[in-house]
Amino acid sequence: MDIEWRYIGRDKISAVGIGTWAIRDYDTAFKAYLYALNNGINNIDTAEMYDNGGAEVFVGRLVKAVGRDNIFITTKMLPERLTDKALVLKAARAALKRIGVSHVDLYLIHWPNPSLSIGEQVRNFEIVAKEGLTRYIGVSNFSLRELEEAQHAVTREKIVVDQVHYSLLHKREVEEELLPYCKANNIVIQAYTPLERGAVVSSPMVS
């Protein structure tokens, strides 16, 4: 399999990752994911929200099958956890227990908490890196303004990723606003739903 690679920090990860949202049959999915991981893909994404933690448990099965060093694990924390550092740590440790690892590689805020300032939630979230529960931190679904605020708010860590909805059918905001800023600040844009659940394939833009 011909794999394209990207870097997050010093880590080399496959440009195409595999997500774990809305898996209906974990046993069937396990075979497909194992094939991908055994053929060069090393980038897997999950979240505590997915199947109420069931997707993180599924990732743990894959870790046992291929070895921790062969997977770059990203997970995401629900924004309601961000009100307090103790809640952040409790949620992070629960996620790590579900996955069966001592740390993940990248931990993201799943989306901004509208009841908190960006600065407060990011500073609370930083503790996951300080405590060694993740190697990198980032955000998801942050607008340009929110990302700028997050960058200015961090005290110890760096925001390395903004994971956003990006596809041929949904790209203007990303390309006109986020992408230039991220390029200038060495932040990786990760796209979720890039095929729009199949809609991109049938779009006139592709043909």
CATH number, position 53: 3.20.20.100
Return the pLDDT at 175. 83
pTM over 0.75: yes
- The model's pLDDT over 20-69, given as tens digits with 9 standing for 90+, comes to 999 999 999 999 999 999 999 999 999 999 999 999 999 999 999 999 99
Query: How far is it, in rounded angstroms, from Cα 94 to Cα 91?
Result: 5
Query: How far is it, in rounded angstroms, from Cα 31 to Cα 24?
Result: 13
Inside any domain, residue 207: no
What is the pLDDT averaged over residues 135-145? 98
Domain ranges, residue 74 = 5-197
- The model's pLDDT over 82-106, given as tens digits with 9 standing for 90+, comes to 999 999 999 999 999 999 999 999 9
Res. 167 pLDDT band, cuts 50 70 90: confident
Distances (CA, A) of 202 to 92, 132, 144, 168, 170: 39, 44, 30, 12, 15
Return the pLDDT at 174. 83
The set of catalytic residues is 50
Res. 115 pLDDT band, cuts 50 70 90: very high
The total number of structural domains that make up the chain: 1
Inside any domain, residue 175: yes
